[in-house]
Amino acid sequence: MTEPTFADLVSRWYEENARDLPWRKPDVGAWAILVSEVMLQQTPVVRVLPAWEAWLARWPVPAALAADSPAEAIRMWGRLGYPRRALRLRECAVAIVERHGGSVPDRLDQLLALPGVGTYTARAVAAFAYGQRHPVVDTNVRRVVCRAIAGEPDAGPTTRPADLVATEELLPEEPAAAALASAAFMELGALICTARTPRCGQCPVESTCAWRASGQEAPAGPTRRPQRYAGTDRQVRGLLLGVLREATGPVPHQRLDQVWADDVQRARALAGLVEDGLVEPVGAEAFRLVGDGPSLPLPDLAR
């Protein structure tokens, strides 16, 4: 009798223990999966769930989002963070309509050519929406493979080409089984093989894990220092966007001045929002979300 492979063991565990997430339902289409993958970047599942449901209720297909304004995409994004993702997702919807007749493409090269779709997202959509065999490598997957196969406690902060190769070598040859394994590797890293407090006793591959066999401990500190938020330009940008999202028209400069006391930092944050294409000036003394009206020349913010 053939011994079960690494992918077999993790996939069996996944089928019994996977979280019941709506974008994993069998009838969920590629557009819904693409939206979930963009939203889940640097954002916890608990925060994504209501935003994903609201987004798909309003824009169930790419054409619906493409026909709406960038401002509405930013408004719907709410406080998920990194709001440029909302703009990239709308640009992606426009490209899907223009290049692919409104249907999310199933070819990896076409997915990679979409605005804002990188190596991870393209492979995730190809695997999870279309059942294809591609290594889908995020932080959780890199950690699982690094520990179980390479015997190292941590995979480091960034994905390397070698990570894709190492993960692909573990995938079954049959595409549907490979797609299942990709989801299983990810879930194992998220729930069991966590960065600081791995639950090795509940791991389906504990007996063959090279890291467990080595006796090494998990790293004491984070691979990357958490980014400070309070008092940063990111916080000021968020406060400014909050006012602009709730407005029904242009917001006077004087109203935005009330958001943050430091004039220099506030002006820098506002200029950054304009530069990132999230906000546009209206005359010399007002601003609004991009796409709510005709864009005018940027006024002097360093006053």
Report, as residue numbers or ranges, the catalytic residues.
Answer: 37
Cα distance between residue 83 and residue 278, in whole Å: 8
CB 171 within 8 A of CB 133: yes
Strands 279-282 and 286-289: antiparallel
- Encode the chain in three state secondary structure: CCCCCHHHHHHHHHHHHCCCCHHHCCCCCHHHHHHHHHHCCCCCHHHHHHHHHHHHHHCCCHHHHHCCCHHHHHHHHCCCCCCHHHHHHHHHHHHHHHHHCCCCCCCHHHHHCCCCCCHHHHHHHHHHHHCCCCCCCCHHHHHHHHHHHHCCCCCCCCCCHHHHHHHHCCCCCCHHHHHHHHHHHHHHHHHCCCCCCCCHHHCCCHHHCHHHHHCCCCCCCCCCCCCCCCCCHHHHHHHHHHHHHHCCCCEEHHHHHCCCCCHHHHHHHHHHHHHCCCEEEECCCEEEECCCCCCCCCCCCCC
User: For the CA atoms of 136, 99, 49, 74, what is the dihedral angle to 10 degrees?
Assistant: 120
Phi, psi of 3 (to 5 degrees): -70, 140
Q: How many residues does the chain have?
A: 303
